[in-house]
Chains A and B, each alone.
Chain A
Amino acid sequence: MEKLINDFSVGLFFWQTLLFLALLFLLRKYAWKPIMEAVDSREKNIEDSLASAEKARAEMERLQSDNQRILAEARAERDGILKEAREIKEKMISEAKAEASEQASKVIASAKEQINNEKMAAITDLRNQVAEMSIEIAEMVLKRELSDKDKQGAFVKEQLANFKMN
């Protein structure tokens, strides 16, 4: 211990303190401050970059899922539209079919009625003509037959017999 104290050099202590403090202040200004600032700002930069990259990734994921959702929606909409169109088509066809058949049966019915009417008219007409012709024939026959009295009496008798038979 005594030797240590004896070896202690005041001059060396003085110079060491002076030089070390000078070094400390010089380094603080010209080295540590810029170095630490550069390191800190770079670390901050890296952290920020990582964070923003992470954010971008999340955003991408969100967009992707959005896209998928939109795509799925569009597909569903397309399917819906197609289905609707098919339904409409089928409905239209069936409606047209129904209408057509209705129309046809209407036409047929009116045709049948017309035919019937025509037929009835023709029958009536024919009947009337036949009746007229019969009467005319009967008139002509009667005119000729009843020109003499005998024949008139015979005819009446015949007719009366006819009635009786009826």
Chain B
Amino acid sequence: MMTKRFGFLVLMFSFLMSTSMLASDSHSESGELSIKEQIKKDIDHHLKDSHSFHLWGDHDKGTAVGFPLPIILWDGQLHFFSSSEFHHHDNGVVESKGTFFKEYHSKIYITDTEGNINYGEDHFVSNEKPIDFSITKNVFSLILISSLIFWIFSTVAKRYKNDPVPRGMAKIFEPLVIFVRDEIAIPNIGEKHYKKYMNYLLTVFFFIWMVNLFGQTPLGINITGNIAITFALALITFLITTFTANKNYWGHIFWMPGVPYLMRVVLAPIEVLGMFIKPFALLIRLYANISAGHVVIMSIIGLLFVFQNWFARGAFLGLGLFLSVIELLVAFLQAYIFTMLSALYFGSAVEEHHHDDH
């Protein structure tokens, strides 16, 4: 127990240390940024995806340690090159198959040979964008975390082959698997139908939880704080709900039983809208919670550098530590909420007919 707690504290401190390094990191493009601007820039940068994996660096010296990742682009033909090529030329332009690309604010644009970025009237970049299938920092992390999850649970599964008693990793993860089954799936879906949804619920629960936890590590990745990630997850929940729904579910949407006929006509469009709002709420909730958590923690750590007073720094260090612990809870809670609400929607999709009395 004691070693576990100690390990946890080490993890927290290393997180604080590493993110503080991130905060002091600079690409020294503009050179003269004030510390507040620098912190804001770093937080923005952290929340966005990146085309290379940055580990640590030094603002003042302009050094950065990390590794490049493969860039895969599609603009009618396939372009494939390493992200390190963006740094080969001073203007940051990469030429591939006659097209010029430039990375600007974590996005890749098609430019002229000089790498000029133009702005439209709405202050957004007006350059054309290729479709970016790059193995970005988030995709790279996703591959790693997915492999880790697969390794963990296939190992757990192997444990049961010869020995029905959960030992080792099975001992740690079995209660969580049973938690998903007994506290999430069965109460929301019901004994009769829950089994066919278990694969998805277990996968989505452990996926979100693990990814959230990795967002807390010193690697400084922010996966579930990306709208594309939460959109993909919510879309799968929506598709499963829609394609496994029974007659009763559609009946409740288009022809609500138990209310006057006029009301049924009024309710139908509201219910149809509700079909889409439910998964939309799922994706926004997860995205907003995790993004907000990352912003708050990075801001608190940023404040350590704004204040020169040691007392204030101590206070913010304590606050940062406290919020990191809260974030660990949020990591689990968001995984639970996403899974629980998905189960609730599946439950409504397969609910049996209960309105004979009306």
Contacts and interface: CB of A to CB of B under 8 A. Distances in A.
Contacts, number: 120
Given A23-B146, A24-B199, A11 B136 contact: yes
Interface stretch (B22-30, B225-233, B268-276, B345-353): B225-233
A7 interface: yes
A34 B160 contact: yes
A11 B132 contact: yes
A163 to B, nearest CB: 144
A161 interface: no
A32 interface: yes
Contacts of A30: 150, 153-154, 157
Given A23-B149, A28-B199, A4 B227 contact: yes
Contacts of B200: 24
A83 B110 CA distance: 118
A86 B149 CA distance: 87
Interface residues of A, number: 35
Contacts of A39: 160, 174, 177-178, 181
Interface of A: 4, 6-17, 19-24, 26-28, 30-39, 41-42, 45
A19 B143 contact: yes
B6 interface: no
Nearest to B226: A12
B203 A12 contact: no
Interface string B190-211: 0000000011101100010000
Interface string B266-291: 00000000000000000000000000
Interface string B207-225: 1000000000000000000
5 contacts: A7-B227, A19-B146, A20-B146, A20-B233, A23-B207
B198 to A, nearest CB: 6
A8 B133 contact: no
Contacts of B142: 15-16, 19
Given A10-B131, A10-B228, A39-B177, 19 more contacts: A7-B226, A11-B72, A11-B131, A11-B134, A11-B139, A15-B135, A16-B228, A16-B233, A20-B233, A20-B236, A22-B146, A27-B149, A27-B199, A31-B150, A31-B157, A32-B153, A34-B161, A35-B174, A38-B160
Question: Which of A9, A30, A36 has the most B CB atoms < 10 Å from its CB?
Answer: A9
A16 B232 contact: yes
A12 B138 contact: yes
Nearest to B156: A35
Contact of B139 (A15, A22, A23, A27): A15
Contacts of B174: 35, 39
Interface of B: 48-49, 72, 124, 131-136, 138-139, 142-143, 146, 149-150, 153-154, 156-158, 160-161, 164, 174, 177-178, 181, 198-200, 202-203, 207, 226-229, 231-233, 235-236
Contacts of B124: 6
Nearest to A38: B160
Contacts of B235: 17
A11 B133 contact: yes
A27 to B, nearest CB: 5
Nearest to A31: B153
A82 to B, nearest CB: 59
Contacts of B226: 7, 9, 12
The 6 closest A-B pairs by CB, nearest first: A38-B160, A31-B153, A13-B228, A34-B157, A12-B228, A16-B232
Contacts of A16: 139, 142, 228-229, 232-233
Contacts of A27: 149-150, 153-154, 199, 202-203
Given A12-B139, A15-B142, A31 B134 contact: no
A46 B245 CA distance: 35
Contacts of A15: 133, 135, 139, 142
Nearest to B154: A30
A23 B150 contact: yes
A89 B189 CA distance: 82
A144 to B, nearest CB: 148
B40 to A, nearest CB: 15
